[in-house]
Amino acid sequence: MTNAALDTDLRDLYQDLILDHGKHPRNFRIAKNANHEALGHNPLCGDRLMLYVTVDDDNVVQDVAFQGSGCAISMASASMMTDMLKGKTLAEVGALFDYMHGACTGETVTPAGLAEDDVDRIKALAGVRHYPMRVKCATLAWHTLQAALKNEKKVSTE
Ligand code: ZN
């Protein structure tokens, strides 16, 4: 199978996953005991989400949750991100963010050391780079995550 064919299969497969996460977001709740939180806003599309992150003393993410409203891509991306981050160290979270950001802007190099499953899911989300208007929808949760971890309370994609 060629790489292109494999990519298409992967895209079809993850299309379903993205639609499912968009319709039934995981970790969609308020986390009262979170020690990091931020509000993310994408004025271009109207996506808005509140992200709650709980990091323990060993810099491991114990819990991630979000609430908000927006288009299916923004909700699916947030849902998939929260699924990915639990149990990760902050260093691993940083590597995933860098990869997501790069993948959405056309970077094709996959960094070493990431879990294969996470790489596949990020590749699927990064399919939005073919639709420039949607990139900010897909990256909103990730920018909100960065803001929360830096203890910035608010972030806008503009
Ligand atoms: Zn959107």
Q: Which residues contact 135 (CB under 8 A, 6 or more apart)?
A: 104, 105, 128, 129
Please give the CATH number for the structural domain made up of 3-156.
3.90.1010.10
CA of 57 from ligand 1 middle (Å) equals: 34
Burial category of 122 from C-beta neighbours within 10 Å (exposed 0-12, middle 13-18, buried 19 and up): buried
CA of 74 from ligand 1 middle (Å) equals: 5
> Strand, coil or helix: what is 37?
strand
- Which residues are paired to 156 by β-bridges? 41
Q: What is the pLDDT of residue 1?
A: 46
- Sorting pLDDT into bands at 50, 70 and 90, what band is 9? low
Domain spans of the chain, in order of start: 3-156
CA of 54 from ligand 1 middle (Å) equals: 25
* Highest-pLDDT range among 16-20, 64-68, 100-104: 64-68
CA of 70 from ligand 1 middle (Å) equals: 6
Q: Is 99 within 8 Å of 110 (Cβ atoms)?
A: yes
- Sorting pLDDT into bands at 50, 70 and 90, what band is 60? very high
Who surrounds ion ligand 1 at CB < 5 A?
45, 47, 71, 74, 137
